[in-house]
Structure 1
Amino acid sequence: MDKVEAFKNIKILEANRAFLIQYDHSYSSFAFKEVCHAELRKINKQIANIEHGLKSGK
């Protein structure tokens, strides 16, 4: 795994995660909220996988 590329991807994913967390869902539909939560889980999983890859040295 290319460390420079991995850190770049983590930075982008963390920015996306921050946006989703800070987004005001007050007037959003239930379906939209569910899609946002699913995307947040996906992003968290991607970050964890990249960090695991960096730690294992692959």
Structure 2
Amino acid sequence: MSSITDKVKGLANEAVGNVKQVAGRALDKPELEAEGLAQEAKGEGQQALGKGKDAVKKVVDKF
């Protein structure tokens, strides 16, 4: 995947995770809230991967 794809998927996973957390709290469903936390963390990881790819690309492009 490209860095842009990683970042976009990461943002989407974070957004869905946040919605699940709010819904879990509102509906008193801790398992849904926990699922949202996990999905948000996955999204943060995907974004970090995308940023890492960008950093590597910048270094490689200098050479």
TM over 0.5: yes
Q: Which residue is 1:40 aligned to?
A: 40
Q: Which residue is 2:52 aligned to?
A: 52
Could you list the structure 1 runs, at least 4 aligned residues long, displaced by more than 3 angstroms after superposition.
none
Q: Could you tell me the percent identity over the aligned residues?
A: 13
Check if 1:6 corresponds to 2:3. yes
Larger RCO (CA within 8 A; separation ≥ 6): 1
Distance 1:22 1:32 in 2: 10
Work out which of the two has the higher radius of gyration on C-alpha atoms and give 1 or 2. 2
Where structure 1 has 5 or more consecutive residues not aligned to the other structure, the ranges are: none
Distance 1:9 1:28 in 2: 32
Structure with greater helix share of residues: 2
- Between the two proteins, the alignment pairs up a number of residues equal to 55
TM-score under structure 1 length normalisation = 0.66
Offset at 1:36? 0.9
Please report the RMSD computed on the Cα atoms of aligned residues, expressed in angstroms: 2.2
